[in-house]
Structure 1
């Protein structure tokens, strides 16, 4: 069946001049950096949150997961809504709501309240993101300029994830854990002031109708699947885990069926029949999976095992951040001469090598080893993200730019969810299985120490020196064992991803 031939997106004004185009890009990078920072900014706040709110291991994972989960589930519906009401208008609405909820999250009194406010941030974050990449396509009509703009966009998206722990480390060095949320307020105030001046409005002149059932099916696909994966990774096969996966897959099948039958689908799933498009989406997802999964354990390792302060831990990741940005920009030149499939495959092999470095040194992690591993992994992520996003946008017709952008960003958020859900759950389960709590520790404290490394560190502060050291030795060894297992899984996944990229992107041209 042929692709839809809906009219090309129509800007609200003429294409801006060169200076205004790059100023528009700078303004649009604000929400990109903010939303991607928010995916990982809590990484280095986990120890303080564990001490202040005393979450269970499951609650700790949901504090991280709920934001990208809601964001991923709503990106496509919000992208469709933005086509209808105007992308800049929805961008500004999302900015206002995101800033307000961030202020509430900063003062959350309990783990449950923090989970709820993170869900609210995901809702408004979904309003922010679908507009950015589709607006860039509207602003940059020249192909070479657009390729560079997308490279900067992709580098900002990937770098924001790595920048989160650094920003978080600086704030946690001087303020309480809630300060990581207040970061959003001044950034979004700047966006609210500058976007109307430099970012032209655009919308689809023939938008599809709002489809509540498709929105419900999209959410019913995402949430149960992630829940099933989390439960399966932590507790092994169970009725709840398998039921969650079954419900999600059924909802996903119904969603696809509905989109194929509608004359104006919320998401044109036929885009996935294009090999370069579907392969690039998969690369996008797996690149972020590897990055977020790595940050989940390295942020705890450098603080709770190696004893670095939040600020020191954040600075330790700075070399990796610099390499990620540089790789994203330099790969634009490389891909002019080398087939995208080969560039992406090599990039994913670097990500596999980063995990391999940690797997080899598991149990004896040093700061140098972890920093080196992050640099190698970041090189792969920066290159793969830039190429995959460029292929996603360029491999579809212009009238499909909005849908392609929403899918690209959805893949990013699904990768963030699965990176924590899969690798984080496996690490938590391995830790719980191997840690030994000394006799004499009160039952409540023993349960907290057995749940997370942060819990064990906090409990140890209340014990006598000998018992505390025994608990910490066991907790560090259990965590190291979990890191080794998680890293080996990361290696295998990235090797499979590299092979998949060679196959699915083999017809993509530079």
Structure 2
């Protein structure tokens, strides 16, 4: 009996080709988060946005991706995951063309917002489709590894592709890369991807959708404001509003017949622990990357393109991790693989903590590869556990919870660790400002490493060198401290996962 059923559960050539097709839009999803940064000077010169408009051009995409994720995941469960993916792909392609040919700052903000809404259909739809295409646990882990790696590669190559395009074409060209890929998805998707939806799904509760959207947007907006400008009344109230609306959202789900999110999922220890592990792994990863990117450019003096090249080994670490995690779970219990990932991450952060103000590429490259391997173990297996813990008909909702958790983890890491790093930098700089420096310049030099470097260039050589060396030392100290904090968080999480998931069996146990 088993010999008859098992082959039917294993994915074949069609499913693996289908996986390659759905990995492409995931790659573009993360590329769109990073590719715009290099284009900012070019579009600023042409569209002449105000400072506020420029911030919205950069941020609105990520805001709406995170805010719409829960609704889109649940919508896919109701109307069909393939249908939602194809609708989203078509809309993403159209929005990309509109963004590329935007003639005003307002138009670019609107098209970036549309890109964010449509991008929110991609991650949960693709991940939930994997849940239906790969029934065999071992194959599904491999598939999720490839799926996760596509995001890492997209984020890594985004600046590189953007730089190449900007050398030969206008700023809008960075948005057109996605169009042929989306056309390919629209052609191949109906033939290679299965359709699946919850046959008993009710109507989407609009009130719940609005509560989730505004709640997530409020929290993320507040956290990003703190990361960019420090603590203040507006970001504080924004976060508080988001928490209150989130509480109301949860209360509403408990009384609805057809909730947007099945709150019973959170009562499953494996689901909750895996979600926590994923969220906090992205917290430490993105929070630390903020410092490393600045260290490469402002401390070591590399160009943005050179800095991007030196971060490519981390992408290679992600690829290696996606290959090894499916092998590891055959022989070791998930708790040990995830905990081992956190231990590797702690080692990577410990190497970051050894950076000094003059050299550090060896530590960055080595630490980055080890960190990428560790984070890969956590995120790939954690995502697999989250999606597998949900019933097949609720896989879209589970996938959206997973992706929303990683989005929140990222902005929370940047905000919290960024605030700690800023506080350390300011504290060190206060005692290092030379006497006689204008109060305005002294205050500006204490705000950030970028500002301090810019000010030092305009000062007399002797005073400027003092400011520059002090700023480099202060920033290096902030990198060291935040790296130690991240390493400590990883060790605590390693112990927590070992304890909470100790009863989960490894892949070859029944």
TM-score, reference length from structure 1: 0.83
Looking at structure 1, the residues matched to 113 and 356 of structure 2 have their Cα atoms a distance apart, in angstroms, of: 34
Looking at structure 1, the residues matched to 24 and 386 of structure 2 have their Cα atoms a distance apart, in angstroms, of: 22
Name the SS for the 1:202 alignment partner.
coil
State the match for 1:37 in structure 2: 31
Looking at structure 2, the residues matched to 460 and 335 of structure 1 have their Cα atoms a distance apart, in angstroms, of: 52
| Deviation at residue 497 of structure 1 after TM alignment | 2.3
Matched, 1:76 2:70: yes
State the match for 2:4 in structure 1: none
| More off after superposition, 217-226 vs 108-117 | 108-117
| Deviation at residue 226 of structure 1 after TM alignment | 3.0
Looking at structure 2, the residues matched to 55 and 483 of structure 1 have their Cα atoms a distance apart, in angstroms, of: 32
State the match for 1:22 in structure 2: 16
Distance change (3 Å), C-alpha of 1:143 and 1:495? closer
Looking at structure 1, the residues matched to 283 and 466 of structure 2 have their Cα atoms a distance apart, in angstroms, of: 34
| More off after superposition, 381-390 vs 111-120 | 111-120
Matched, 1:376 2:359: no
Distance change (3 Å), C-alpha of 1:118 and 1:145? same
8 Å Cα contact 2:149/2:319 also seen in 1: yes
Name the SS for the 2:121 alignment partner.
helix
Structure-to-structure mapping, 1:379-418, within 5 angstroms: 379-418=373-412
Counterpart of 1:491 (choices 465, 487, 494) is 487
8 Å Cα contact 1:166/1:318 also seen in 2: no
8 Å Cα contact 1:230/1:425 also seen in 2: no
Looking at structure 1, the residues matched to 488 and 167 of structure 2 have their Cα atoms a distance apart, in angstroms, of: 36
State the match for 1:129 in structure 2: 123
8 Å Cα contact 1:350/1:379 also seen in 2: yes
Looking at structure 2, the residues matched to 110 and 476 of structure 1 have their Cα atoms a distance apart, in angstroms, of: 39
State the match for 2:306 in structure 1: 312
Q: CA RMSD in A?
A: 3.8
Matched, 1:504 2:500: yes
State the match for 2:266 in structure 1: 272
| More off after superposition, 451-460 vs 191-200 | 451-460
8 Å Cα contact 2:77/2:198 also seen in 1: yes
Matched, 1:250 2:244: yes
| Deviation at residue 144 of structure 1 after TM alignment | 3.5
Matched, 1:185 2:179: yes
Looking at structure 2, the residues matched to 55 and 427 of structure 1 have their Cα atoms a distance apart, in angstroms, of: 28
Looking at structure 2, the residues matched to 437 and 60 of structure 1 have their Cα atoms a distance apart, in angstroms, of: 34
Looking at structure 1, the residues matched to 439 and 136 of structure 2 have their Cα atoms a distance apart, in angstroms, of: 66
Looking at structure 1, the residues matched to 40 and 349 of structure 2 have their Cα atoms a distance apart, in angstroms, of: 22
Counterpart of 1:155 (choices 139, 149, 154) is 149
Counterpart of 1:479 (choices 475, 478, 494) is 475
Name the SS for the 1:277 alignment partner.
helix
Name the SS for the 1:491 alignment partner.
helix
Distance change (3 Å), C-alpha of 1:101 and 1:476? farther
| Deviation at residue 439 of structure 1 after TM alignment | 7.2
Counterpart of 2:281 (choices 284, 287, 293) is 287
| More off after superposition, 374-383 vs 34-43 | 34-43
Q: Deviations over 1:278-303 (max 9, x none)?
A: 11111221222233223222222222
8 Å Cα contact 2:10/2:139 also seen in 1: no
Looking at structure 1, the residues matched to 373 and 164 of structure 2 have their Cα atoms a distance apart, in angstroms, of: 24
Looking at structure 2, the residues matched to 423 and 457 of structure 1 have their Cα atoms a distance apart, in angstroms, of: 21
| Deviation at residue 366 of structure 1 after TM alignment | 1.9
| More off after superposition, 38-47 vs 218-227 | 38-47
State the match for 2:216 in structure 1: 222
Distance change (3 Å), C-alpha of 1:88 and 1:310? same
State the match for 1:321 in structure 2: 315
Q: Deviations over 1:416-468 (max 9, x none)?
A: 2223333334445555663859978897x988776554455566677776676
8 Å Cα contact 2:335/2:497 also seen in 1: yes
Looking at structure 2, the residues matched to 389 and 237 of structure 1 have their Cα atoms a distance apart, in angstroms, of: 33
Looking at structure 2, the residues matched to 339 and 270 of structure 1 have their Cα atoms a distance apart, in angstroms, of: 25
8 Å Cα contact 1:101/1:120 also seen in 2: yes
Looking at structure 1, the residues matched to 150 and 304 of structure 2 have their Cα atoms a distance apart, in angstroms, of: 22
Q: Deviations over 1:48-86 (max 9, x none)?
A: 899998987x99887665433321221110112223333
| Deviation at residue 43 of structure 1 after TM alignment | 6.4
Matched, 1:91 2:85: yes
Higher Cα Rg, which structure: 2
How many residue pairs end up in the alignment? 495
| Deviation at residue 104 of structure 1 after TM alignment | 5.2
Distance change (3 Å), C-alpha of 1:355 and 1:171? farther
Q: Deviations over 1:137-172 (max 9, x none)?
A: 222334433332222212323443444445455556
Distance change (3 Å), C-alpha of 1:232 and 1:188? same
Distance change (3 Å), C-alpha of 1:242 and 1:265? same
Name the SS for the 1:361 alignment partner.
coil
Looking at structure 1, the residues matched to 322 and 252 of structure 2 have their Cα atoms a distance apart, in angstroms, of: 37
Extract unaligned runs of 5+ from structure 2: 1-7
Name the SS for the 2:204 alignment partner.
coil
State the match for 1:6 in structure 2: none
Distance change (3 Å), C-alpha of 1:404 and 1:346? same
Distance change (3 Å), C-alpha of 1:235 and 1:461? closer
